[in-house]
Amino acid sequence: MSLPPEQSSALSSFAANGFPAWRGRMEYVCLGCGARYPGDSLLYACPQCNDVFLLENLDFGQLAARSGQEWRDLFDARAASRATALRGIFRYYELLAPLLEEEDIVYLGEGLTPIVEAAPALRDAIGLPFAYKNDGQNPSASFKDRGMACAFSYLKWLCRRNDWDEVLTVCASTGDTSAAAALYASYVGAPLKSVVLLPHGKVTPQQLSQPLGSGATVLELPGVFDDCMKVVELLAENYRVALLNSKNSWRILGQESYAYETAQWYGWDVDRLCIFVPIGNAGNVTAIMSGFLKMLELGIITRLPRIFGVQSAHADPVWRYYAAPEGQRQWQPVTVSPSVAQAAMIGNPVSFPRVRRLAERFMEAGGPRAFQVVQVTEQQIMDAMILANRHGHIACTQGGECLAGLRNALALGLVDKTERAVLDATAHSLKFAGFQDMYFNDGFPPEYGVTPDKSLANQPELLLPIDARAGKDVAEFARMGADAVAARLSLQRK
């Protein structure tokens, strides 16, 4: 492809610490009717058919002027950059939203989360090498920060171009989206203000505290996430608000960074790598497939990994779709039951059309086994989360869902023990500490279908009577305490 001289010069420059000069033109592409719209306005659903969008860089083909090795060298060099705008997800700027200027980039420390190999005992118990990618180590403690960094950078760009004096950001949430949206809105400040809509009683106290602490207007409705999502969709259609759920295509772009980071961590060699991703609203699995396909097209990677979506039997519409024979598949939302994987407790994921489109492309490029969906039970999710965290990990319930998915995939023969896996721990375990407490105290309501494994349960032990401290000096009580600890642990004197 012949590039204009100024674009050729911008693309060929190799300044790892300087902000990229190359720019691309972005368009919304409707997955229903194929209509296209310029990428310089807020659009969430097609005005013609109401289907969802993917964003397309019209100038993506120009990026092939640089070889796969040159892209690998550039991204590796940027790993040492001190430029704030290149320290997070925009290390991969050209693959994400290359219409933004450096002044638009919002960086709160998101992205580049660690990939931690499974503890040896856990690896041996599961039966193949695997690692957790700990996206709970993002600023708001979940993977949603990847998408918000891109979405809020784009909003800054729009506000600057249009001289907007006030923009209300709004989202429905099971917890993580609201925490991320409120955090980034509070950092950017005027002209942005944050409103979040939550299903009453369906969000953990830890997750609820986050948007409250960031100063967002927090509104609750009875019902479940899907009900709240319908409300914010109506708001986005009829009022001037910025929707920040995964219907927002700019969020999907930011979440592609998970794929780029994973490939880079493994030296750009993802052959025989299986990536397990929980499916809730289906934006994350969409983004990860899209990211790997972009890298394959540019020769940054030479083979695709295999992607496994994981769903609980309490919220499994995507699994049901792909479990049907190929010629008989029909999309049907489901009514969800209570799930410990609250972030994935969604019966009608808005990004399913994206999943279907990207999965088709993924399997065309990587073969029929390149994308699969695995179902797990609530019991398996909790057992797996507790097991992982007893081996030094910080998996949330969605991380437990992924480990349960890996175990089931092995049992079903979908994964070979000579392969390796990366599991997506989408949030920090502390966000879901309440479910751990319910497990340890055998406190799950019947509708969850979880019975604790007593060998995994853990409780504190009181060694001395409550009044044992009364009337004793420090030395005497210390001796009593030490004797009690020694007796409990069967310690031998020196």
Helix locations, 256-340, DSSP H:
257-265, 283-297, 317-323
* Paired tokens of 32: 């229903």
Kindly tell me the sign of the dihedral angle through the C-alpha atoms of 114, 119, 122, 127.
Answer: positive
H or E segment and range at residue 120: helix 120-126
Q: Is 302 helix (H, G, I), strand (E, B) or coil?
A: coil
Q: What is the mean pLDDT of residues 10-29?
A: 81
Q: Does residue 16 register a pLDDT over 70?
A: no
Residue 131: pLDDT band with limits 50, 70, 90: very high
Q: What is the mean pLDDT of residues 339-366?
A: 93
Residue 13: pLDDT band with limits 50, 70, 90: low
Q: Does residue 9 register a pLDDT over 70?
A: no
Nearest-angstrom CA–CA distance, 8 and 65: 8
- Give the pLDDT score at 229: 87
Predicted TM-score (pTM) of the model is 0.94
Q: Does residue 10 register a pLDDT over 70?
A: no
What domains lie within the chain, and their CATH numbers? Answer: 115-139+252-448 (3.40.50.1100), 462-494 (no CATH)
Which one, of 248, 277, 247, lies nearest residue 262 by Cα? 277
Q: Does residue 428 register a pLDDT over 80?
A: yes
Beta strand 217-221 with 192-199: parallel, antiparallel or unpaired?
A: parallel
Q: Is 279 helix (H, G, I), strand (E, B) or coil?
A: coil
Please spell the DSSP secondary structure of 382-401, one letter per residue.
HHHHHHHHTTT--B-HHHHH
The average confidence (pLDDT) of the chain is 94
Residue 342: pLDDT band with limits 50, 70, 90: confident
Predicted confidence (pLDDT) per residue in 389-398, tens digit? 999 999 999 9
| Inter-residue contact 210 to 314 (CB < 8 Å) | no
- Give the pLDDT score at 4: 62
Nearest-angstrom CA–CA distance, 437 and 431: 12
Q: Does residue 15 register a pLDDT over 60?
A: no
- 275-284, 339-348, 376-385, 403-412 — which is least confidently predicted? 339-348
- Give the pLDDT score at 206: 85
Residue 202: pLDDT band with limits 50, 70, 90: confident
Predicted confidence (pLDDT) per residue in 286-310, tens digit? 999 999 999 999 999 999 999 999 9
- Give the pLDDT score at 7: 57
Q: What is the mean pLDDT of residues 206-227?
A: 91
Nearest-angstrom CA–CA distance, 354 and 66: 28
Predicted confidence (pLDDT) per residue in 156-190, tens digit? 999 999 999 899 999 988 788 889 999 999 999 99
